[in-house]
Every structure is written in C-alpha cells, then in structure tokens.
Amino acid sequence: MLQKREKVLLLRTFQGRTLRIVREHYLRPSVPCNSPLCPQPAACRNDGKLLAAEVTHYVIPDWKVVQDYLEVLEFPELKGVIFMQTACQAVQHQRGRRQYNKLRNLLKDARHDCVLFANEFQQHCYLPREKGEAMEKWQTRSIYNSAVWYYHHCEDRMPIVMVTEDEEAIQKYGSETEGVFVISFKNYLDNFWPDLKAAHDLCDSILQSRRERETESQETHGKEYPEHLPLEVLEAGIKSGRYIQGILNVNKHRAQIEAFVRLHGASSKDSGRCHPHFQVTFLVLTLCSEESVNCHAALCTLGL
C-alpha cells in the first residue's frame, strides 16, 4: 500500500526569488535493502547487488562524508557500505554531476561491496523536514533514523556504524540506540582500519585542502566583492535612475582588470574597470564619474 505525502521544496531562483514547489512523494512499506540478512527478501525485492555476508558491521556515511570523502569510501577494503538516498541526493545537488556519476559508478561496480538504500521511499525511514530545520540537520537526522530502521530490519544481527562530520549528531545519537554507533569518519578509520595507510593519507590530504579552502573563503569573504543587491532594489534603482542598466564586454586580453559596458539605450560605449569574475551579460551599475563606471555594487545575471 503506497502512502502519499506532500514534499515542499523551497527553491531560490537566480533572481533571488523563492519558489515554493509542492511535490507528491510516495512511500512504500518495503524497498530493496540489499542485505543478505534480510528476513523478507521477496518483499524487499532484493534482486540486485547484495552486501557481502562475511562483514563484521555495516557502515553508513552521513551526507557530508559522502560529499567530502568519496575517494576514501572507494577503497575496496571498505566493505558493507550503505549509501542512503538522502546522502546521494546531497552529492547530486551540491557537488554536481561529475561527483554524482562517480558515486553511481561505485554503486554499480560489482567489485565494491556497497549498496544504495532508497530510505526516502521507505515509509518508516522517511522523515519530513521540520519547520525551520536546516537542510543539513534534516539530512543527518534522516540518515540516522534510516540507519536505526535498517539495524532493526536485519533483526539486530549486524552492528551499524554511522560516520558523520557533525559533532552534535555524535553527541546526540552516539549512545541512543544499542547496535548503532555514531562516530566521526576519522575515528572510524583509526579504529576499524588502522593499517590502511593509503586511506589515512588520502583522508588527511582531503581534510587539509578543505581547511585551506575554508580559511581562504573566510579571508576573502565580504572584502573583495560586496554582496549582490536584491532584485527589488535593482529594479527600483533602475526606475529611479540611481542605477543604470548595461551589457558587459570583458576585454579578453586584460580580463582581470578591464571590461566595457554598453549602456542600455545608448550607442556609445562607456568603459570602466571592474572585477570580471563573473559570466554575466546584463548588469546594473552605478555611474561614479564621466570616465569611471563602478559596477561593484549591483551585479545580476538578469535580462532586466
């Protein structure tokens, strides 16, 4: 018996507007669990790749671990890996097609002991997102809830280790369910795979480059490029004459420092220095003086 739910998605458009989309979401009593321990393989329709029978535990990576450490999870030594649909979707939406295809290929690869569990279609695993709940928190909560269900579904016979980068989740869920452990990915590698040096090295280098990226973005945040203005402000500014609309042409020989702006409705070109770090055709700008055009305040990708 299918159960129907309505899933509300809030999408932000390029124009900065928020779109509310309601999608029908159907839940099933059983979806393939792909475990050889399944007590109802016919109901689960486990006709694809199954997890290996000889593992000591299953490991379920949280969404952030799948996003950041997929290359480590690809190590064939890591067995009994269950990728939750919630984590896979987080990769698809936030890491792009290339990384998502890598994950799909890994799931298809018969040599690698990992499976997909469509937790968001299973009626006991699906959790609606609470009002005001951050997407990241909901994803982690869903994955944990599904891990607990999976543990009971296998009749508590296989310990499950959920690996997460969320400290709060480790505190909150760490000792909530007997048989379901919640620890950091680093902790997992240290304790379960202490001799898998290549995986440790790769994990360290990924962590290192992530920290560098974070420091870099903190250093530049808000300094080099001011925040873009909301669409309503731009529209009002154009109407009142405070902003001017134009088309940007970047000088390909001096792309870092020079761009030309053709003003809307004018045949002549106004030139100015700005930061052409964007691929925009239309922009809105402030005229500072006759010779210099300052477009730092108000860029947008709209055909206004």
Looking at beta carbons only, is 60 or 287 nearer to Zn ion?
60
Instruction: Tell the smallest beta-carbon distance from residue 29 to Zn ion (Å).
Output: 11
DSSP state of 129: P
The answer to whether 158 contacts Zn ion (rule: CB under 5 A) is no
Looking at beta carbons only, is 34 or 164 nearer to Zn ion?
34
Which of 12, 22, 31, 33: binder of Zn ion (CB under 5 A)?
A: 33
Residue in 23, 52, 57, 18 with CA at minimum distance from that of residue 35: 52
Looking at beta carbons only, is 44 or 180 nearer to Zn ion?
44
Looking at beta carbons only, is 47 or 216 nearer to Zn ion?
47
- Reported as type and span, the H/E element at residue 96 is helix 85-108
**What's the chain's length in residues?**
304
Which of 31, 38, 161, 248: binder of Zn ion (CB under 5 A)?
A: 38
Provide the 10 A C-beta neighbour count for residue 145. Answer: 18
Instruction: Tell the smallest beta-carbon distance from residue 161 to Zn ion (Å).
Output: 19
Query: Contact at 8 Å (CB) between 183 and 170?
Result: yes
The answer to whether 116 contacts Zn ion (rule: CB under 5 A) is no
Instruction: Tell the smallest beta-carbon distance from residue 114 to Zn ion (Å).
Output: 16
Q: Pick the piece of the chain touching Zn ion (CB under 5 A) from 37-45, 72-80, 89-97, 239-247.
A: 37-45
Which of 8, 14, 44, 219: binder of Zn ion (CB under 5 A)?
A: 44
Q: Where are the beta strands (DSSP E) in the chain?
A: 3-12, 18-27, 58-61, 81-84, 114-117, 160-164, 180-184, 244-250, 259-263, 269-272, 282-287, 293-294
Q: Pick the piece of the chain touching Zn ion (CB under 5 A) from 35-43, 53-61, 163-171, 196-204.
A: 35-43
| b/e code 2-11 from CB counts within 10 Å (16+ = b) | eeeeeeeeee
Looking at beta carbons only, is 44 or 161 nearer to Zn ion?
44
Query: Contact at 8 Å (CB) between 72 and 150?
Result: no
What are the residues binding Zn ion (CB under 5 A)? 33, 38, 44
